[in-house]
C-alpha cells in the first residue's frame, strides 16, 4: 500500500509498504479522510515532544470497514470514526475512566504510525460508528472532541467570562463548546487578524481581539477589571501559555489545551493570590466524541465552514510545505483517499 512518511523534519515522501495484517480480533479499514492538524505541522517542523522518525502521520481519521473478525459489531462497508488514542485499559488512569491520558498511551500518527496510508488495522474499541455523518464530518470529530474535552475540564459555571487564546482549529472547537454553556461570554485572542475575523463570524456572539501593545488594557476593560473566569490556551506556544495566566481572574482557572516542547514558568505569589487553578487537558474520551457527533447532527457545529481546504492525500508532500510557509485562509484541511 502507499503511505505518506515523514522521514525526518522537513521531509515528506510517498512510500510503498506492505499491506497490514490484522492481529486476532482487529478490524481492517480502508482510509477515506485524514484531517491535517497542528500536530502534523509540528511533526513536519521537528517540534513535537513525543515523536520519533520516521513516522506516518495522521490522527484525524474516518474510513470504511474492509474486513472484520468473527462476531464483530461492524459490517463490511460501514463508515466509521477512528479514536486515535490507543490505551492499555489496565493502568491507573484507565482504571479511572481516563483513557485519554493512559500511562502507556499510543496516539496514531505520533507514538505509532497513523492514517496517512491506504489501509489501517485497529482494535474495535478504537472505532465508532459514523452515525450518518459524511466522511469529512467524521474526520473532524477528533479535533472538535479535544475542544469539547477541554471545556469539560474547565468546569464552566453559568455566566462565566471565557477567553480562548489561539484561533486555530482546536481553539475554535474550544470556543464553540464554551458557547454552548449557559450564558457564558466567549472572547477569542490571536495574533492573526484574519483568524480572529473568521472566529467572530463562526460563533454567535464571539468577541475577537488581535494581539497588540494595548491588549492587556483592552482585555481588562472588556471584563471591567476582573479578567476571565476561565482561560483556555490552544496555541502550543510557551510565551502565550505564560501570558494567559495573567488574564485569569481571582478564583479562576487556566486550561492548557495544547502541548509545548518547553518549560512553563509562573509567579507563585501571583498564582496563590488568585487561588487559581492550572489545568491540563489531554486528548478526549468517548463521551467527548459522542458529544461532538450529537452537536454536528443538531446543526450547532458549522462543519462545512471549518473544512476550508481539501486535497488528494498523495499531493500532500508538495502542498504541506507551502501551507507551512503561507497558511492564509487555512482552517481545516482534509486529505481524501
Helix (H) or strand (E) holding 209: strand 207-210
Report the 10 Å Cβ neighbour count for 230.
Answer: 27
Distance CA 87, CA 124 (A): 12
How far is the CA of 263 from the CAs of 87, 153, 279, in angstroms? 26, 22, 15
pLDDT (0 to 100) of residue 328:
80
pLDDT band for 250, please (50, 70, 90 cuts): very high
Phi, psi of 255 (to 5 degrees): -105, 120
pLDDT (0 to 100) of residue 262:
87
Mean of all residue pLDDT scores within the chain: 95
Give residue 101's Cα distance to chain centre.
Answer: 14
pLDDT one-digit tens code per residue, 13-46: 999 999 999 999 999 999 999 999 988 998 999 8
Angle between the 135-154 and 169-179 helix axes, to the nearest 10 degrees? 60
Instruction: Please state the domain extents for the chain.
Output: 2-130+302-336, 148-280
pLDDT (0 to 100) of residue 225:
96
pTM: 0.94
Tell me if the domain spanning 2-130+302-336 has CATH number 3.90.180.10: yes
| Contacting residues for 66 by C-beta, under 8 A, at least 6 apart | 28, 29, 30, 76, 119
pLDDT (0 to 100) of residue 177:
97
Distance CA 97, CA 148 (A): 17
Homologous superfamily (CATH) for 148-280:
NAD(P)-binding Rossmann-like Domain (3.40.50.720)
pLDDT at 324 over 90: no
Q: Looking at residues 98-111, what average pLDDT do you find? A: 95
3-state secondary structure of 102: coil
Cell 474510513 belongs to which residue? 63
Report the 10 Å Cβ neighbour count for 203.
Answer: 18
Distance CA 258, CA 146 (A): 10
pLDDT (0 to 100) of residue 197:
94
State yes or no: cis peptide before 54, omega within 30 of 0. Answer: yes
DSSP 262: S
**First-to-last C-alpha distance (Å) of the chain:** 12
Q: Looking at residues 8-13, what average pLDDT do you find? A: 95
3-state secondary structure of 279: strand
pLDDT one-digit tens code per residue, 191-234: 999 999 999 988 778 999 999 999 999 999 999 999 999 999 99
3-state secondary structure of 254: strand
pLDDT one-digit tens code per residue, 265-307: 999 999 999 999 999 999 999 999 999 999 999 999 999 999 9
Numbers of helices and strands, H then E, in the chain: 10, 17
3-state secondary structure of 28: strand
Residue 281 near residue 256, CB atoms below 8 Å: yes
- CA-based nearest residue to 173, from 261, 34, 300, 82: 300
pLDDT (0 to 100) of residue 10:
93
- CA-based nearest residue to 326, from 192, 131, 204: 192
pLDDT (0 to 100) of residue 306:
96
Amino acid at each position: 500500500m502507499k503511505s505518506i512518511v515523514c522521514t525526518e523534519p522537513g521531509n515528506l515522501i510517498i512510500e510503498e509498504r506492505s499491506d497490514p495484517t490484522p492481529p486476532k480480533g482487529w478490524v481492517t479499514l480502508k482510509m477515506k479522510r485524514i484531517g491535517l492538524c497542528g500536530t502534523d505541522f509540528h511533526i513536519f517542523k521537528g517540534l513535537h515532544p513525543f515523536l520519533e522518525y520516521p513516522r506516518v502521520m495522521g490522527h484525524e481519521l474516518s474510513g470504511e470497514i474492509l474486513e472484520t473478525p468473527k462476531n464483530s459489531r461492524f459490517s463490511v462497508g460501514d463508515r466509521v470514526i477512528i479514536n486515535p488514542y490507543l490505551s492499555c485499559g489496565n493502568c491507573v488512569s484507565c482504571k479511572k475512566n481516563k483513557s485519554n491520558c493512559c500511562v502507556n498511551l499510543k496516539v496514531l500518527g505520533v507514538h505509532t504510525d497513523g492514517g496517512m496510508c491506504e489501509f489501517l488495522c485497529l482494535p474495535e474499541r478504537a472505532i465508532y460508528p459514523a452515525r450518518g455523518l459524511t466522511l469529512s464530518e467524521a474526520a473532524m470529530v477528533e479535533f472538535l472532541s479535544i475542544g469539547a474535552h477541554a471545556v469539560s475540564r474547565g468546569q464552566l459555571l453559568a455566566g462565566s467570562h471565557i477567553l480562548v487564546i489561539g484561533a486555530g482549529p482546536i481553539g475554535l472547537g474550544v470556543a464553540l463548546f464554551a458557547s454552548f454553556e449557559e450564558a457564558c461570554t466567549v472572547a477569542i485572542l490571536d495574533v492573526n487578524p484574519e483568524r480572529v475575523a473568521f472566529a467572530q463570524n463562526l460563533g454567535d456572539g464571539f468577541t475577537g481581539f488581535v494581539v497588540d501593545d494595548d491588549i492587556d488594557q483592552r482585555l481588562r476593560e472588556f471584563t471591567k477589571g476582573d479578567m476571565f473566569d476561565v482561560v483556555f490556551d490552544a496555541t502550543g506556544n510557551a510565551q502565550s501559555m505564560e501570558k494567559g495566566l495573567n488574564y485569569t481572574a481571582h478564583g479562576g482557572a487556566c486550561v492548557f489545551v495544547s502541548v509545548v516542547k518547553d518549560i512553563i514558568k509562573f509567579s507563585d505569589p501571583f498564582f496563590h493570590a488568585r487561588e487559581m487553578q492550572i489545568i491540563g487537558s489531554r486528548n478526549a474520551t468517548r463521551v467527548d466524541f459522542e458529544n461532538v457527533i450529537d452537536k454536528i447532527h443538531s446543526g450547532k457545529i458549522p462543519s462545512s465552514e471549518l473544512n476550508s481546504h481539501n486535497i488528494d492525500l498523495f499531493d500532500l508532500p508538495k502542498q504541506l510545505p507551502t501551507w507551512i510557509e503561507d497558511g492564509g485562509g487555512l482552517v481545516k484541511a482534509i486529505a481524501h483517499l
